[in-house]
Amino acid sequence: MTKTKKYWKGLAELNNDPIVEKLAQNEFTEEIPVDEFLGDSGLANSSTSRRDFLKFLGFSTAAATLAACETPVNKVIPYVVKPEETVPGIANYYASTIYDGHDFASVLVKTREGRPIKLESNKTCTNARVQASVLSLYDSARLRNPMKDGKDSDWKTVDTDITSKLNEIKNNGGNIALLTSTIISPTTEKLISDFSEKYGNVKHIQMDALSSHGMLEANLETFGVRALPNYNFDKADVIVSFGADFIGNWGHPNNESDYSKGRNPKNGKMSKHFQVESTLTLTGSNADERIQIKPSEQAGLLSNLYNALNGSSTLDKRIAKIVDSLIEAKTSIVVCNSNDKEVQLLVNAINNKLGNYGSTIDMQKTSYLRKGNDKDVSNLVDDINSGKIDALITYNVNPSYNLVNADEFNKGLGKVDLKISTSLYMDETAINMDYVCPDNHNLESWGDANPSNGEYTLMQPTINPLFNGRQFQDSLLSWIGSSEEYYNLLKNSYSSWEEKLHDGYFEGEQVNHSLTSNFSAPSFSIPSSKGIEFEISEKISMGDGSNSNNPWLQELPDPLSRACWDNYLTMSASTARDLGIKNWHVSNGALNGSKVNITVNSKTLENVPVLIQPGQAVGSVAMAVGYGRTNAGKCGTGVGHNAFTFVNGGKADISIIEGEHEFAGVQLHHTMMGRDIVKETTLADFINDPSSGNHREKYYTHDGLKTSDQVTLWDKHDHQTGHFWNQSIDLTLCTGCAACVISCHAENNVPVVGKEEVRKSRDMHWLRIDRYFSSEMTKERSAEEKISAIDMYSEMEDPSENPEVVFQPVMCQHCNNAPCETVCPVAATTHSAEGLNHMTYNRCVGTRYCANNCPYKVRRFNWFQYSDNDKFDYNMNDDYGKMVLNPDVVVRSRGVIEKCSMCIQMIQEIKLKAKTNGVSVKDEDVQTACSSACSTGAMIFGDSNDSSHEIYNLKNDPRKYDLLDHLNVAPSVFYQTKVRNKS
């Protein structure tokens, strides 16, 4: 019976399908492409049997193991003559200055064994770009030698050629143009005038990649001084900014710290900050109230504001609140980013009407950081094209890349007889030049700076020039025919030189401007424009693009879009919907987006990706400059598109095209989904009750309602005996500027992983700044309107069109009840009595249990060997780039977890210093890399067992809260509630 019974595996077998027969023979119907994955056709034909193979494998493994047991022979090479100030293992600090034509900062340079490895701020704020500039020093894309006609040459040849040609031009009465960035060095200015004297018809033209020409001209007309004013943001009760990103990229670097001084709710008083803009900037995201406008409406609104202050009743209701606040306030500041002189004249008139000159705006202590003259530059381009210029020397500028009419400039260059660039790189401009005389990096050069009236800084070399470059000033001297060195020239310009050099920053001679007050208020109306308008934006990572080849900056996520290695068109969700543009997540969570062609002022950029950015005004689009470099070096070349083409803005024609773009974002969600990750309150509530907004959840137990720490299962650590390191992060003061992120990179040898890896969420940042947008949907609203939970949560995912923004720096929270420690099978992560969570890389076997159990997701896994690996061709795969590594911190290898150590190397160093001197640890000395880079004072680090330290008070502040308090992980890092000055 049973023998005759047949079971079919399927209909195919019943029907005698030939595939069944085939499957019975082979597991797969198609042939497996063995050759393809073996790669070597020889392998298939080899006679080595599997047994032989295993024997060889066994033998070679054993041999390799035995060989590995031998101690490697290491060399130790001392100096022949040790410089007196150098002690191996001990860092030296030198005061110097960073100025690259765009960013300025007075810095302390930390050097180890003669190598600069880190920059700290010295009296001025340092932004992310300044922090990262130490890596640019070690950029192997820098020119090694002077170049003649694109070939390596030597200084003697180049100098002889240039001098003879310059003399020829002089004798023929030719014109020489010297195109430089804004020059803030008084000694260089003197040198340029010497050069002009020597060669006669020399025209010195200063240009800024992102120009403030309009404002400078307006001030010249109003006050008779062509300079930018000094703003005291700390003294203003009301701050109104029309598009000016003064925290991120606009004006003096100290704006940020000044601003935050006036924003500390501790004193019961905060400035009220309005931002009127179309593109969401860092400053806008910090504003108490943000008003979205189209770029073309700016002038009209300012006019409206001016009239309203003068009593007019026709008021645009969008700015009604601003007018009320301004009239009410004692002191205020109104700033505007417009590059239109007429608009800036109006802004001057508004500030004058409000009586701000002399109180919050200082026209005596003027800033000299922008001097560029757009008119001169456009005249120069005309002159070049009409063959009037015989020699062109460029310094610190890259006009072929960042001029709006770069094509015209490049075309005309053929008519110039002698073209010299002094760029450090073979950049877009240098490649068109006859001679390239590479300048030295700031950290290899002597110099001085006069960033604002009465404020001076000095620049000193902290390392011998790495390459055969020569600083621009010495080049000029040599072309003048002087045998003097720039160093001597500089030294002789200042009295008590050594003292000043030691300090790096000093108050000096202040010019007394004789000011006129020639105020005028041009009138503008608000155009009724339809269609989409374009404006440029600037990222805090890339700036004007001169640091484009810096991998730290390329991988620094934008604080607002959280995307890196890219620029893109930002657009509001509703505009995108109208145009049929989409952003979507692919299977691994990464973000993809549509691509468009965009035409502005009859110029077109093709294949531009679009990122939907909450906060971008409806009907406007923006794109960051600094990308789309064609000759930047291996990191910067070909990343993004060059938005300098559209620098003047205008009507945009956008047509969606086929294809999709892959973004590399580090944060894929926008909102907090109704959780209290960032706790918030308003100033009024805070004054009533300092703990407002800081509600601590209680839970039902058999013993009544209790907070999470009262129902703990954990044994307490003894944190009382020694130190207890804590860090407080004030979310009110944090502006999201990301200087701390780069500072952490530099201090802790954090690797760069590249765009593809970031897309796979394998970024290695030890410190990230989470950004959350507010949503229209809240739990309260859903309860009121009886919206179902599913609908509520799905709506919560969408940020508002004009959202409130919060930034939250998150590093390892150093939990004292640490979830990671309990799950590590090899005890590679352990707890210290000083309140730190230690990570022992050499013990880690890479199970990643800890990362999975970490509620804050701050643990990073080394998927690959990021150093000495051609697949990750960034600074750690480069003999020069590796010189920036901090020798006190190990470079992690593949297969281990790494994370923030709370800069334990710095803590140990400070403790040792105290022990050797036999004193207790001084409060002001204790810093982490992030807290030392924080110019707003948002991050405070210290020993909370020391009641005299600020951290002790912060720990007991009513605003203090632990992130994810309900987990009772008792972190050593805590936050202070964000206070907004809004009603």
Partner 1 sequence: MVSLTNLKLRVLFLSVLCFLSFNSVAQSEGEQIFKSVCAACHSIGEGKLIGPDAKEWMTSERFTSTEDPEGTLIKYVQNPAAFGVIEMPAQALSADEIKAVLNYINEYVPEEKPVAVSSDLSEEEEDNAISNIYIYIIVLLLLIFILTSVKNSLKESLSQPTETVLESVKNYITINRNKIIIGFILFVSIMYLVYNLMMGVGVVEKYQPDQPIAFSHEIHAGLNGVDCNYCHSSAKNSAHSGVPSANVCMNCHAVVKGGDDEAKNEIGKIWKSFGLDIETDDFDWNKVDTYTQTPIEWVRVHNLPDHAYFNHAQHVTVGGLECQQCHGNMQEKTVGQVATAEELNKIDYNIKDGIEFDHPTLTMGWCIDCHRQKEVNMEENDYYTEMHKNLKEKHGTEEGFTVDMIGGLECGKCHY
Token pair listed for 561: 């879009």
| Least Å from the CB of residue 890 to partner 1 | 5
Rounded CA-CA distance 131/105 in Å is 10
| Least Å from the CB of residue 864 to partner 1 | 18
Neighbours of 323 (CB within 10 A): 18
| Least Å from the CB of residue 68 to partner 1 | 9
User: Based on CB atoms, which residue is closest to partner 1, 237 or 888?
Assistant: 888
Token pair listed for 185: 């060095």
Rounded CA-CA distance 429/376 in Å is 18
User: Based on CB atoms, which residue is closest to partner 1, 270 or 904?
Assistant: 904
| Least Å from the CB of residue 119 to partner 1 | 22
| Least Å from the CB of residue 446 to partner 1 | 20
User: Based on CB atoms, which residue is closest to partner 1, 200 or 887?
Assistant: 887
The answer for residues whose C-beta is within 8 angstroms of residue 149's C-beta and 6 or more apart is 434
The answer for residues whose C-beta is within 8 angstroms of residue 594's C-beta and 6 or more apart is 580, 581, 582, 583, 609, 610, 656, 660, 661
Rounded CA-CA distance 272/298 in Å is 20
User: Based on CB atoms, which residue is closest to partner 1, 34 or 80?
Assistant: 80
Is the distance from CB of 772 to CB of 303 less than 8 angstroms? no
User: Based on CB atoms, which residue is closest to partner 1, 53 or 79?
Assistant: 79
Is the distance from CB of 419 to CB of 435 less than 8 angstroms? yes
User: Based on CB atoms, which residue is closest to partner 1, 560 or 904?
Assistant: 904
| Least Å from the CB of residue 778 to partner 1 | 42
User: Based on CB atoms, which residue is closest to partner 1, 103 or 834?
Assistant: 834
Is the distance from CB of 347 to CB of 361 less than 8 angstroms? no
| Least Å from the CB of residue 725 to partner 1 | 11
Judging by beta carbons within 10 Å of its beta carbon (0-12, 13-18, 19+), is residue 601 exposed, middle or buried? Answer: middle
Is the distance from CB of 424 to CB of 470 less than 8 angstroms? no
User: Based on CB atoms, which residue is closest to partner 1, 130 or 903?
Assistant: 903
| Least Å from the CB of residue 74 to partner 1 | 4
User: Based on CB atoms, which residue is closest to partner 1, 495 or 916?
Assistant: 916
Token pair listed for 939: 């991050």
Q: What does each C-alpha distance from 758 to 192, 552, 584, 721 come to in angstroms?
A: 46, 13, 17, 42
User: Based on CB atoms, which residue is closest to partner 1, 431 or 823?
Assistant: 823
User: Based on CB atoms, which residue is closest to partner 1, 668 or 833?
Assistant: 833
Is the distance from CB of 140 to CB of 878 less than 8 angstroms? yes
Rounded CA-CA distance 421/410 in Å is 13
Report which of 521, 466, 550 is spatially closest to residue 128, judged by C-alpha positions.
Answer: 550
325: three-class secondary structure by DSSP: helix
| Least Å from the CB of residue 100 to partner 1 | 33
User: Based on CB atoms, which residue is closest to partner 1, 508 or 887?
Assistant: 887
| Least Å from the CB of residue 723 to partner 1 | 9
| Least Å from the CB of residue 85 to partner 1 | 13
| Least Å from the CB of residue 945 to partner 1 | 8
Is the distance from CB of 730 to CB of 853 less than 8 angstroms? no
User: Based on CB atoms, which residue is closest to partner 1, 67 or 713?
Assistant: 67
- Eight-state DSSP code of residue 944: T
| Least Å from the CB of residue 911 to partner 1 | 8
Pairing of the two strands 620-624 and 532-537:
parallel
Is the distance from CB of 933 to CB of 121 less than 8 angstroms? yes
Give the chain's largest Cα–Cα span: 118
User: Based on CB atoms, which residue is closest to partner 1, 232 or 749?
Assistant: 749
- Residues making contact with partner 1 (CB under 8 A): 69, 71-82, 87-90, 718, 720-722, 828, 830, 832-834, 836, 838-843, 888-891, 901, 904-905, 908, 911-912, 914-916, 918-921
Rounded CA-CA distance 684/103 in Å is 37
Q: What does each C-alpha distance from 824 to 553, 834, 840, 846 come to in angstroms?
A: 34, 20, 11, 10
| Least Å from the CB of residue 712 to partner 1 | 21
60: three-class secondary structure by DSSP: helix
| Least Å from the CB of residue 117 to partner 1 | 15
User: Based on CB atoms, which residue is closest to partner 1, 805 or 839?
Assistant: 839
Token pair listed for 403: 């001029």
Instruction: Quickly list H helices, 614-713.
Output: 683-688
Rounded CA-CA distance 970/815 in Å is 5
The answer for residues whose C-beta is within 8 angstroms of residue 46's C-beta and 6 or more apart is none
Angle CA 639–870–635, to nearest 5 = 20
